Amino acid sequence: MSTTLFVPSAEAAFIAGLTDRQMNRIVDEHLVPEPFFKQQGNSRLFTRLGAAFAKFYFATEDLLLASARKQVLDELSARVNRLQVKDQILALTLLDSMSWKVERKFVEVDVLPFLQEAFYRANEVDQADALVNTDPEIMNGLPVFAGTRVSIGIVLGSLAEGISMDRLKASYPFLTEAHVQSAKVYEAVHPRRGRPRRMADVNPGISRRITHMAKRTVSA
């Protein structure tokens, strides 16, 4: 499994829509199969698929016993490991190469909705990395919008103080809603040291619901 398949804990937490504490529990309590996360020095790294699995584990705790959730993830992990396109699946760039449904005693569990949600959020991370840059020679390494010297902190701080988007566009004509959303995502994925992360940081402006996770099946 290539090191590049693993992302930092803050990015995994954003993709999963979970808190740092929940992501730490994934590692400490081995809640998802171990190939999907690892410890590297003081850092904890996850595959993007591992982040999606973490979301499934916590989101279904009122529906499935812990042992049942682990069985589902173990079976899906085994399926992934048998595929030649395993790396693409781990990176959440390919989802339709296998079934994400698992049947257990007349209950069919479909994990695909969780992967689709994680895929969407992973794309937001990629968009943020495309629209926001850091360079030690530009603004002393502060995150800036790509191709500019405009700090994302200035824009987000101005919006937080009630300055309208129209006023900001008058000063920064390049600015779009996509830039603002990417700035929020970038701050969530790259938190400043000493700044506590809230659930709002993990989910900046995003409110979606995952449905159709499980349904009962009838035996013949």
Domain 3-100 has CATH 2.40.30: no
Tens digit of pLDDT for each residue in 54-95? Answer: 999 999 999 999 999 999 999 999 999 999 999 999 999 999
Range from 59-68, 92-101, 129-138, 194-203 carrying the lowest mean pLDDT = 194-203
**SS3 string of 17-44?**
CCCHHHHHHHHHCCCCCHHHEEEECCEE
Rounded-to-integer distance, Cα 60 and Cα 70, Å: 11
8-49 tens-digit pLDDT: 999 999 999 999 999 999 999 999 998 899 988 889 999 999
Domain ranges of the chain: 3-100
CB 106 within 8 A of CB 218: yes
User: What's the rounded mean pLDDT across residues 160-181?
Assistant: 95
pTM: 0.84
